[in-house]
Structure formats: structure tokens, C-alpha cells
């Protein structure tokens, strides 16, 4: 079934990057139903929410194709848990096209769970409702926190039952991204030793994401992505976010957070926090994310090595210089973010030691990461002794001495009160699987204003009760 292309979708990826995708004729689903629509996002993209409510179930499940459009599954390679896989790609997703918003920004509309593709690797290509809702909740929370991220436009149920960790209704998530270009996309052409195609991919990536660097070639792309990723990971670290699966196929060239399968936010601070059930060695633990970011950028430099310079040694030196800048920019960005969280005026050489001393005290105290910073701010604002563990109270004089007589900036404008607490997310998902979407919509409402205390929402700010136990996440693929 085809429908008039009222969304005005375009297809620059398909036109520019032949060989990086497989055209798909989606099978669709017999009983798709629109469950959740992000009306503010639709409006921001220049899409008509009323049209989406009327036709979204068919179009955003892949059950109907817009006239003149070219659904496709993107191809890419990638390093997964340190091991190179030359053939990955969209195994359960379709790019149905690109939309240009009123400001002229281009975004992919990408359907996750729309069925099998040539890259499905013996999978069924489907997604479960809890997986789709989880990405919707966490990606929208990340957006509200001001962290670059893909977003979620809609969830459509399919009428099927999917078996993953549990039986669940089938669903398709519509993901909105600046693009789905990844380090793994570069690695695919590099692994094929197709220099011309790799050059074409570099130029398309620059024009789409870093047009001001469009004439700089592979060096400019490597530098731009390294800077974007350094700033992104620093932001994750500042809010206690654990991505969980930082494979190179999950590193977006745009600098957006992408792939929310096993991610979660910390309650008690612990740099060794791991949530993903499959990360048995803790490769992607919270405190290792900066190191993994550097490792991933090294893989990008390797993929681009032949394009960085004609002389191999010169290319290696260019790549190493970019990695050095990545590490220094991530550290500098993180320090600035942490200074803001603590209300510190200016920058002093000892700030890193002061911040680390607090984190060490929090780790010993098993203190809640998010609430500790709110309590510090509240103690200053009300000139009271904050309700903190003795380990942290012993650190307070150092902090107050660093503040001096200066009035701290509004710390609560950068320290969230509400994050997607794991137990609240699970409560919402369990209710949705039982047919009650109310807890999900209420959680989304709270998370849309993460820095503002909302009367009656105290439970959303509290860490999980002890009865919640040790939390583990799953990819659900």
C-alpha cells in the first residue's frame, strides 16, 4: 500500500552513497496501531501531528510506503566488544527517508522493529513494546537534559507477540536522528579497501554534519567527530549516564547519543557501574567510558588512515594528534561541567583534585549521584547543613573554602532532580505491557522538566528501594 508523500521525505543518503544500503520492500503488519506520538517533536520537525495520527500507524510501522520514497536498510561494519565484525547493518530497522525542519536541518526517520532485512543475521527483525518504550523514555530524557541525542517520534504496536526476556506486544519505534552515519559506516568501506567510496562517504558526512569543514577532507572529519564525541561523553559522565554498548557501530558521526538498549543512569555512585547483562568484563562500565571513547576514535583514525595523508607516518601522526586533543577536550569539558555542578567560580588548577575527592567520598558512602549535587546546592541556598553522609560532610570545608565569598551560580539549573530512575522506568514498562500507558506518559511529563522541582513528584527523584535489587539491562534484540 502506498500513501501520498505528505511528509515531504527526501533521500540524499540513498542518492550519494550507493553500496551502503539495501533497498527494502517492507512486509508491514496486519494490525498496526499508533500508541504514542511525540506531538512537540512532530511540530518542531514541521510535520502535521493530525496527519500522523491519521496515517502514522501504517506509515510508521512500514505497513504503508509513501509514494516516491525508497525505504532501505543501512550497511555498516563495527568493532563489537573489541572484535571487528565486517558485516553488520540494520537488522531490524528501515530508513524511510529524511525530513528537513523549518530551520533547514536534516533528520533521518528510522523505523526500529519493522521486520527482517538482508542484515538480520538470523534475527526476526522485530522489536518488543518494552524495548521501544524504553528508548522513547530515555532518549527524550536525554534531550531534556540538554545532551545531544537521537529522539523518538512515535511508537506503533504491531498486533504481534514478541518473545525476548519475556513475551511482549510487538512494536515499532520511529527514531529521529541527525543521521545514522557511524564509525562503523567508515569501517565498512575501509575494510573493503574502497578508497573512492570512502572518500565519497567522508565528503557526504562533512557536508551533512560539519559544512563549515567541508573542504577539509578526512582530517577535518576526524577532528570534528573527535571533538563532538569528547563533549558528548563528558556530558554523559556529568549526569551519571552509562551507555552500556559503546561499540563503534554505535558511535554516531554527528556526536549524538545513539542506541539505548542496555543503557541506564546510576543511583549510587560507583565508577565500576555496569548494567548490561552481556558486559561480563565491565568493558563499558561508567568510569571506562572516556577510555573507550578514545579507543573508538583510534578505530576511526585507522579507517581513515589512507586518506589522512599520502605518507603513512604523517597520517599516523595526524591521527595521534587528534586522539591527544580528544582526551584533553573531554577532560576540559568534564571539568567545566563539574565546576558548574559545584557552583565553582572560574577555574583553578586544584579543581580536578577537589572534584575527585568528592567522587571518592561518594563512592565510599554509596551516595546517590544525582541527589548529592542537589543537596549540596540546597544546603548553600538555605544556609543549612545538607543531609549527606559523613564521608561527604568531611569534604565540605574544602569546597566552601574554594567558593570563598562568591555567591555560587544557580547549581540547580545544571543539576537535575529527575532522571530516568531504573525502578520507575521498569514500573512504567510493566504497566504498559499490562495495557496501562498512564505511568509511561506521567514519567515522560516529569522527565521533560528535569531541573525543576515539581510538587507531588517526590517519588520520581528518589533512588530505588533496596527491594529493587541489582539492576541489569538487556539489548532485547
Sign of CA dihedral 187, 189, 194, 197: negative
DSSP string, 276-319: BTT-TT-TT-GGGHHHHHHHHHHHHHHHTHHHH-SSHHHHHHHH
Beta bridge partners of 462: none
249 flagged as catalytic: yes
DSSP code, position 407? P
Contacts of 437 (CB under 8 A, 6+ apart): 35, 36, 431
Q: How many CB atoms lie within 10 A of CB 309?
A: 16
What separation in angstroms does the CA of 207 have from each of 13, 113, 203, 204, 304?
Answer: 12, 29, 6, 5, 17
Q: Judge whether 80 and 247 are in contact, CB under 8 Å.
A: yes
DSSP code, position 411? G
Beta bridge partners of 172: 156
- Alpha-carbon distance of 449 to 144, in angstroms, equals 7
DSSP string, 350-399: THHHHHHHHHHHHHHHT-BHHHHHHHHHHHHHTTS--S--HHHHTTHHHH
Helix or strand run (H / E) with residue 429: helix 422-433
| Residue 261 grid coordinates | 538498549
- Alpha-carbon distance of 358 to 347, in angstroms, equals 17
Region class of 130: left (phi > 0), else alpha (psi between -120 and 50), else beta: alpha
Identify the active-site residue in 90, 249, 259, 368: 249
Going by DSSP bridges, is the β-strand pair 151-163/167-177 parallel, antiparallel, or unpaired? Answer: antiparallel
Q: Judge whether 31 and 159 are in contact, CB under 8 Å.
A: yes
What's the burial of 68, exposed, middle or buried (CB within 10 Å: 0-12/13-18/19+)?
A: exposed
Q: Nearest to residue 273, comparing CAs of 150, 210, 362, 208?
A: 362
- Number of residues written out for the chain: 477
- Alpha-carbon distance of 113 to 131, in angstroms, equals 10
Q: Nearest to residue 25, comparing CAs of 96, 90, 123?
A: 96
Q: Judge whether 113 and 171 are in contact, CB under 8 Å.
A: yes
- Active site residue ranges: 249
Amino acid at each position: 500500500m502506498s500513501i501520498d508523500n505528505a511528509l515531504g521525505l527526501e533521500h540524499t543518503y540513498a542518492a550519494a552513497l550507493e553500496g551502503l544500503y539495501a533497498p527494502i520492500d517492507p512486509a508491514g503488519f496486519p494490525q498496526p496501531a499508533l500508541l504514542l506520538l511525540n506531538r512537540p517533536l512532530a511540530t518542531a520537525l514541521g510535520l502535521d501531528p493530525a496527519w500522523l495520527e491519521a496515517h502514522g500507524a501504517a506509515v510508521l510501522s512500514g505497513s504503508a510506503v509513501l509514494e516516491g520514497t525508497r525505504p532501505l536498510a543501512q550497511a555498516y561494519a563495527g568493532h563489537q566488544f573489541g572484535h571487528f565484525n565486517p558485516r553488520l547493518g540494520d537488522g531490524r530497522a528501515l530508513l524511510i527517508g529524511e525530513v528537513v525542519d523549518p530551520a533547514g536541518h536534516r533528520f533521518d526517520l528510522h523505523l526500529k522493529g519493522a521486520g527482517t532485512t538482508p542484515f538480520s543475521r538470523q534475527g526476526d527483525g522485530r522489536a518488543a513494546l518494552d524495548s521501544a518504550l524504553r528508548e522513547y523514555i530515555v532518549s527524550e530524557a536525554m534531550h531534556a537534559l540538554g545532551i545531544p541525542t537521537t529522539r523518538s517520534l512515535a511508537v506503533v504496536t504491531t498486533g504481534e507477540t514478541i518473545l525476548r526476556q519475556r513475551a511482549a506486544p510487538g512494536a515499532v519505534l520511529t527514531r529521529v536522528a541527525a543521521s545514522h552515519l557511524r564509525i562503523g559506516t567508515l569501517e565498512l568501506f575501509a575494510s573493503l579497501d574502497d578508497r573512492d567510496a570512502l572518500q565519497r562517504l567522508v565528503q557526504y558526512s562533512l557536508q551533512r554534519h560539519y559544512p563549515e569543514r567541508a573542504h577539509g577532507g578526512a582530517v577535518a572529519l576526524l577532528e570534528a567527530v573527535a571533538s563532538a564525541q569528547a563533549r558528548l561523553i563528558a556530558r554523559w559522565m556529568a549526569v551519571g549516564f552509562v551507555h552500556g554498548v559503546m561499540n563503534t557501530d554505535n558511535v554516531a558521526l554527528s556526536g549524538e547519543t545513539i542506541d539505548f538498549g542496555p543503557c541506564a543512569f546510576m543511583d549510587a555512585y560507583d565508577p565500576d557501574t555496569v548494567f548490561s547483562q552481556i558486559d561480563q568484563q565491565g568493558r563499558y562500565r561508567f568510569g571506562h567510558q572516556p577510555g573507550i571513547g578514545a579507543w573508538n576514535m583510534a578505530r576511526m583514525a585507522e579507517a581513515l588512515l589512507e586518506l589522512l595523508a599520502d605518507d603513512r607516518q604523517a597520517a599516523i601522526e595526524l591521527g595521534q594528534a587528534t586522539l591527544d586533543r580528544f582526551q584533553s577536550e573531554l577532560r576540559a569539558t568534564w571539568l567545566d561541567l563539574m565546576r558548574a555542578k559545584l557552583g565553582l567560580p572560574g577555574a583553578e588548577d586544584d579543581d580536578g583534585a577537589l572534584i575527585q575527592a568528592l567522587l571518592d567520598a561518594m563512592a565510599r558512602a554509596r551516595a546517590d549521584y544525582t541527589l548529592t549535587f542537589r543537596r549540596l546546592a540546597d544546603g548553600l541556598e538555605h544556609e543549612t547543613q545538607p543531609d549527606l553522609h559523613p564521608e561527604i560532610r568531611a569534604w565540605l570545608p574544602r569546597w566552601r573554602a574554594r567558593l570563598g565569598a562568591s555567591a555560587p551560580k544557580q547549581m540547580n539549573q545544571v543539576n537535575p532532580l529527575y532522571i530516568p530512575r531504573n525502578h520507575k522506568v521498569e514500573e512504567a514498562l510493566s504497566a504498559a505491557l499490562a495495557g496501562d500507558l498512564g505511568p509511561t506518559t506521567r514519567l515522560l511529563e516529569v522527565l521533560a522538566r528535569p531541573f525543576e522541582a515539581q510538587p507531588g513528584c517526590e517519588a520520581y527523584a528518589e533512588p530505588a528501594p533496596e527491594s529493587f535489587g541489582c539492576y541489569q539491562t538487556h539489548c532485547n534484540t
